Structure 1
């Protein structure tokens, strides 16, 4: 092989190796970019989850009511609590609205009721998916108000916005009410027990859900998301 041929052959191999290295670098950058995008999406999903209000939902006097209205005939059904049958009466349109909010992931629904231990019975009647429970053990009616208030404080302490619908445990005035609503992150609704939640209540709830101007506080904050983005090198 002549010197010229050897030189051309060596140059060929150099170009080939350089091309392989460039391809490996591009692949590495692509994978790194994918990891960065994945982490960014995860952080954004976490931020949206934290901004999603938690709705503490009572049953009796809120969903179950003697005259639920909603301009349509109510439905009736039997649920079993601690093995005993109870007749429930509700407005189908109300349940439809609640189900739609859940399916849209607009709000986290959490049972906060003496029905918590038997919430599967209520979900069966209302054709709702399995929802979160504020507690899982049976609780007496006398102990329920304290447990419900503790559940409300827990939601706020965890940095979420709070929707609390309860016909009797929900404070409507006084120092406890003032404390819960002080930051604008809580919506408390106490419907008439005989009527339960009405269309105007759902309008208020939807407006509260849509209001994203109120920042969450607690362990995870919006500025923590922004800091994480900067650490990932995302300057977009």
Structure 2
């Protein structure tokens, strides 16, 4: 399961009372985030129940391990290096090509707020990508129980990540 931060774990607005505001420091600059401490345990339980692994697929890269993971109860996770890849002529998000390289035909679920048909098409055509589920998260509300349920159903259908 691949996790984005902004728009997924850090929504644009507080969508439930369980979100807490935090000031984090990234490259020396303060940054405000809203995080729900229930997300970490829920993601870990989903990973355990389905045999999936978790990894960061975010422009936060390793800052997600330093600033986000401890605040929501996640351990250090592998980081997919997504920065530095130039924009695509095909319209896919800049992270999509890095993710295609990372998965190496392993099935995966990707939670992100910036996904569209171009990302699906790119991954579908890429020879290094097998089975996948793209879960587009509304950045106003962030990751919900519905998104986690969608991932659980997909991961439990006989494909082990």
TM-score normalised by the chain length of structure 1: 0.55
Distance 1:98 1:196, change over 3 A: same
Q: Any idea what the Cα deviations from partners look like across 1:80-128, whole Å, max 9, x if unmatched?
A: 2112111111223333211323455721111111111312111222221
Q: Any idea what the Cα deviations from partners look like across 1:109-164, whole Å, max 9, x if unmatched?
A: 1111111131211122222111000028xx37986x32x112321244x1200211
Is the CA contact 2:50–2:152 (under 8 Å) kept in the aligned structure 1?
Answer: no
Is the CA contact 1:152–1:164 (under 8 Å) kept in the aligned structure 2?
Answer: no
Q: Larger % of helix: which? A: 1
Partner in structure 2 of residue 84 of structure 1: 29
Distance apart, 1:184 and its partner CA: 7.5
Q: Which SS does the other structure have where 1:108 is aligned? A: coil
Greater mean alpha carbon deviation, residues 116-125 or residues 192-201:
116-125
CA distance in 2, matches of 1:93, 1:202: 12
Q: Give the one of 206, 228, 234 matched to 2:152.
A: 206
CA distance in 2, matches of 1:123, 1:129: 6
Mapping of 1:150-161 within 5 angstroms? 150-156=97-103, 158-161=104-107
Q: Which SS does the other structure have where 1:133 is aligned? A: coil
CA distance in 1, matches of 2:96, 2:60: 16
CA distance in 1, matches of 2:85, 2:44: 27
What is the Cα-based RMSD across aligned positions, in Å?
A: 3.0
Partner in structure 2 of residue 162 of structure 1: 108
Mapping of 1:84-163 within 5 angstroms? 84-102=29-47, 106-119=51-64, 120-135=66-81, 139=83, 145-146=93-94, 148-156=95-103, 158-163=104-109
Q: Which SS does the other structure have where 2:96 is aligned? A: helix
Larger radius of gyration: 1
Distance 1:74 1:142, change over 3 A: farther
Q: Which SS does the other structure have where 2:62 is aligned? A: helix
CA distance in 2, matches of 1:80, 1:113: 16
Partner in structure 2 of residue 29 of structure 1: none
Q: Which SS does the other structure have where 1:114 is aligned? A: coil
